[in-house]
Amino acid sequence: MQSNQTSSELPDRHIVLFGVGHTNAHIVRMWVQNPVPRTSLTCLSDGPTATYSGLLPAVLSGQHSEQDMQIDLVKLCASAGARLITEEVSAVDLKLRQIQFKNRPAIPFDALSIGIGSVPTTAGVRIQDHAPIVAIKPMRTFLQRLATAVDGALQRTEKLSVAVVGSGAGGIEIACCLHPYLRNRKLKSYSISIISATSEVLPGSGQGVRRKIREFMEQPDSKIELITGLRVVEVTPSHVELQNGTTIKADIVIWATGAAAPSVLSMFDLPKDDHGFLLTDRTLRTLSGHPIFVVGDSGSVHQNSFPKAGVYAVRQGPVLWENLQRLLSGRQLTEFVPQKSFLKLLNLGNAEAIGEWKGFSFRGRWVLKLKDSIDTRFMQMFRNLMNRDYSSTMQCRGCGCKLSSDILKSALNQVGTQQSGETPLLTENLTLDDGAEVLLSGGQSLITSTDFFTPPLTDHWLNGRIIAQHAMNDLFAMGATVRGALATIVIPEGNSETQQQMLAELLTGIHHELDSAGAKLNGGHTIVGPRCEIGLTVFGEPLSGELIRKLNAQAGDFLYLTKPLGTGVLLAAHAQARCQADHFEELIRVMLQSQQQASAIAVHCGVIAGTDVTGFGLLGHLSEMLVAGQCAATVELNRIPQLRGAEELIGEGFESSLTPANRRTELPVSVLAQHPNAATIALLYDPQTCGGLLLCVPKRQCHSFEAAFLAESLPCPVRIGQIVAGSPRIELV
């Protein structure tokens, strides 16, 4: 399925967001509500989630879960119909207006917004090898890195010493919220100190809020040692050294200093300030005149200095949204006017917060409630977008858009019977195997197969890779190699540059996977049509003298499945912006997991019966084997491997549009399990894109079969059932 698409014509303008922090996330949010016509949106991120910095202290102190501070970029981009790319950027070509990557094709942009934040500065500090520094940024991985550092330090000492370097709002909140964090980890003996290069904490704040911070730190149950007016000059594995020669024991050093430009900004040949940040005019556009905006901490407005704080990044969002549209339409840009003051709220980690507004300071539980209300309301704006209701009747894509098996078989049986005396095509000229064997002169044979579907993702580099793996699986399922392929591609209407870009990304993705299998793309055919469709005809040769066929299943063979089930329901949920980021990452990883080595191991172990699990689901393809071999099978429900999130999504009502047809299996299916899991049973009908191999392994070969996977450090197939004698049927036990 796909959502938020109003036209089959390709866009002719491209907006790219480099980084999806506070400002750029606003653009995606607005795009969901009102996408810019004839324009595509691509988001570049170093991960599938973004962290809202305002909630980090609350998560650290245990007031909120880690999920509460994460913006799920997979869901957000899916809801906007935008492409999310998490590959590392290698260069930016300003002349060609292209973003280049290490491992995938370059992408064009007509407008670019750079918002990759900042990093804590380490200027003038000597950092020794193995120094226990935990930088506060990137915040997305801060908690994980902190937990690893604490665990490592506790192996060396019983009393933990933590030094927080930096006394801005971030450093103060982290230090205060470390108390409940360490107590929640059952630590009884620890110390916390804040080291400030300035003579006072919270530079830029009033005396009232500073006094309240000091009073809090001096309380017996939250005592934090405060060291001011001294700069850190060196960090060693055991301590930090200050500019006056004093050393302070530090098992962990949390680095929360002022902002420095991230190294990635150096790849941009654009005007920069003295600190390496990209210079812009008041419209947030680079001074160079390129169609590039720089927002948040990444940019500095020329001759208009204001702190690098999240509140300014949030306020820049509406200005950037307006200016992106004005730039594409050739209109005059509007200026960003930073506010002169803003509400400051600091979480103390103890159910209280300290606040400051226009010189007035205040402290209490109500202040924390106010801060929590503001932060959760900000996050709820994104969650509301990602939980919208979409149409559930749209046809799924990937292998979920196949014609149902009963319609297909009825049509094949009808071919040839309309003229008296002829035998149905299905029973004479076609087999149920995954590919066709073509006998050549000299006793050799050619194995060939074809696959064709509507791409399931907005990222056509990934779509090309997926169709290649999906098509090659047919040959791997028969115990054959892949030598070459022919592509068949339908490209939608659009301008020539966009059509060329789409085709190049698809073909490059196909070539990437074919090349990894030792095969080549030998040619193909393209046409223009109403929507993108991609197909691949692959051909190769058997690995041994006997192919793996469906009709070779024999009673006593054990059934092994090489991949978990669930791609159909996860892709269906993703099309409706309901597949969460970590589940989507696993989905892509599993789909791109080649079955070439699994096929070779099966052939080496004497496996001669099997298939791959694709559009008709596990039970549909197992039925084909049982009908061909005239035998039955038992399937153990509690051994079915599943992709994370699949059962949960089924419980929420998600399913592929092909699933109802797959339930009409031609064989009787008996549920003999005492406590059958309805979601697991539903997964057995789920259509799989790039599914695993379903192999019948003779009992005497099972040990060597499993051992071969372990020896190659490959995921071990799961034994899910057994072939038994009898008329074709399936028993779920």
**Interval 259-284: pLDDT, tens:** 999 999 999 999 999 999 999 999 99
Percent helix / strand / coil, the chain, rounded to 5: 35, 25, 40
Contacts of 155 (CB under 8 A, 6+ apart): none
% residues pLDDT > 90 (the chain): 81
Query: Same domain, yes or no, for 157 and 237?
Result: yes
Query: Same domain, yes or no, for 241 and 275?
Result: no
Whether residue 421 is contained in a domain is answered as: no
Phi, psi at 77, each rounded to 5°: -70, -35
Whether residue 206 is contained in a domain is answered as: yes
Q: What pLDDT score does 151 carry?
A: 94
Position 429 pLDDT exceeds 50: no
CA-closest candidate to residue 195, choices 244, 152, 153, 147: 244
Rg of the chain, C-alpha, whole Å: 30
- State the pairing for strand pair 558-561/693-697: antiparallel
Q: What pLDDT score does 428 carry?
A: 46
Contact 261, 248 (CB under 8 A): no
pLDDT higher for 333 or 395?
Answer: 333
* CATH label of the domain that carries residue 283: 3.50.50.60
pLDDT tens for residues 536-576? 999 999 999 899 999 999 999 999 999 999 999 999 999 99
pLDDT tens for residues 47-64? 999 999 999 999 999 999
Lookup: tokens for 235: 């960090």
- 65, exposed or middle or buried, with CB in 10 Å at 0-12, 13-18, 19+? exposed
Q: How confident is residue 413, by pLDDT bands cut at 50, 70 and 90?
A: low
Q: How confident is residue 483, by pLDDT bands cut at 50, 70 and 90?
A: very high
Q: How confident is residue 204, by pLDDT bands cut at 50, 70 and 90?
A: confident
User: Which residue, of 236, 260, 284, is where some domain finishes?
Assistant: 260
Whether residue 4 is contained in a domain is answered as: no
Return mean pLDDT, the chain.
91
Measure the CA–CA gap between 294 and 105, rounded to whole angstroms. 24
Contact 133, 235 (CB under 8 A): yes
Q: What is the mean pLDDT of residues 14-23?
A: 96
User: Which residue, of 230, 260, 290, is where some domain finishes?
Assistant: 260
Position 393 pLDDT exceeds 80: no
Query: Same domain, yes or no, for 589 and 730?
Result: yes
Query: Same domain, yes or no, for 201 and 274?
Result: no
Position 423 pLDDT exceeds 70: no
Whether residue 208 is contained in a domain is answered as: yes
Query: Same domain, yes or no, for 665 and 689?
Result: yes
Whether residue 520 is contained in a domain is answered as: yes
Q: What is the mean pLDDT of residues 173-182?
A: 95
Q: Report the chain's terminal Cα–Cα distance, integer Å.
A: 33
Query: Same domain, yes or no, for 156 and 48?
Result: no
Measure the CA–CA gap between 301 and 278, rounded to whole angstroms. 9
* CATH label of the domain that carries residue 459: 3.30.1330.10
Total domain count, the chain: 4
Residue with tokens 């197939």: 717
Query: Same domain, yes or no, for 18 and 40?
Result: yes
Contacts of 203 (CB under 8 A, 6+ apart): 167, 168
Query: Same domain, yes or no, for 561 and 687?
Result: yes
Whether residue 435 is contained in a domain is answered as: yes
Whether residue 400 is contained in a domain is answered as: no
Q: In 607-633, which positions are buried (b, 16+ CB within 10 angstroms) versus exposed (e)? A: bbbbbbbbbbbbbbbbbbbbebbebbb
pLDDT higher for 189 or 16?
Answer: 16
Q: Which domain holds residue 203?
A: 120-260
Q: What is the mean pLDDT of residues 376-393?
A: 75
Query: Same domain, yes or no, for 109 and 149?
Result: no
* CATH label of the domain that carries residue 709: 3.90.650.10
Q: What is the mean pLDDT of residues 117-135?
A: 95
Query: Same domain, yes or no, for 514 and 558?
Result: no
Q: What pLDDT score does 238 carry?
A: 95
pLDDT tens for residues 583-630? 999 999 999 999 999 999 999 999 999 999 999 999 999 999 999 999
Contact 18, 112 (CB under 8 A): yes
Reported pTM: 0.91
Position 499 pLDDT exceeds 60: yes
Q: Select which of 176, 177, 399, 532 is catalytic.
A: 399
Would you tell me how many other CB atoms lie within 10 Å of the CB of residue 317?
A: 20
Query: Same domain, yes or no, for 451 and 461?
Result: yes
Q: What pLDDT score does 304 carry?
A: 86
User: Which residue, of 482, 515, 547, is where some domain finishes?
Assistant: 547
Q: Is 532 one of the catalytic residues?
A: no
Query: Same domain, yes or no, for 602 and 732?
Result: yes
Whether residue 489 is contained in a domain is answered as: yes
Contact 477, 693 (CB under 8 A): yes
